[in-house]
Amino acid sequence: MRIAVFASGSGSNFQSIVDATLEGRLDARVELCVSSRPDAGVVDRARLLGIPVLVLSGSIDVHLAELKETLETQKIDIIALAGFLKKIPSELIQLDPLRILNIHPALLPQFGGPGMYGMRVHEAVLAAKETISGATVHIVDEEYDSGPIVMQRTVPVLPTDTATDLAARVLKIEHELYPEALQLFAKNQITINGRKVSY
């Protein structure tokens, strides 16, 4: 399976996916890194690993033809969104048989939707006085954070937690969860019926 990782930040989830492929836990190769920022840490990580990088400045729609051509040239089977801060256009979502996954730092359907990303998510979890949070891998559809859920994993929310504390605890399980979810696709163990995902 050939993966493109889309990321806008430091690229720690990108790194966890690459590491899983190198360690034999994920039967796939990361063949492309797409970023919305030329100065993002993920760009440096990808270049150090010799993985091709495509930077999309501004709207994705402006770059859609170039992006589709690059995905086709690299023979990408699946896109893994990892902190990618741009909405994916419908034209890309509807490309068949391309699959697009996202990882979200909360237990969807709670604490998702437009504007809910990064530290805002953890602040909202703490404000709601939740005792459990976690991470969700889901299939991307036309709405933010609303696609069928593939896998979730939980972490406790401690009474002394700051948003930074909770973010670190959630990120640790993201690094475990995302490669595991991708491996289900690599092994063709996923069945999708409407909004229900089974494996």
The residue from 104, 122, 138, 175 that is catalytic is 104
The distance from CA 52 to its chain's CA centroid, rounded to whole angstroms, is 18
Are the CB atoms for 177 and 170 separated by under 8 Å?
no
Is 138 among the residues known to form the active site? Answer: no
CA pair distance 29, 199, nearest whole angstrom: 22
Distance from C-alpha of 199 to C-alpha of 190, rounded to nearest angstrom: 5
Closest CA to 100 of 74, 72, 81, 75: 81
Sequence-ordered list of residues with C-beta below 8 angstroms from that of 100, at least 6 positions apart, any chain: 78, 79, 81, 88, 92, 93, 139, 140
| Tokens representing residue 135 in the block | 């991470």
Could you give the residue numbers annotated as active site? Answer: 104
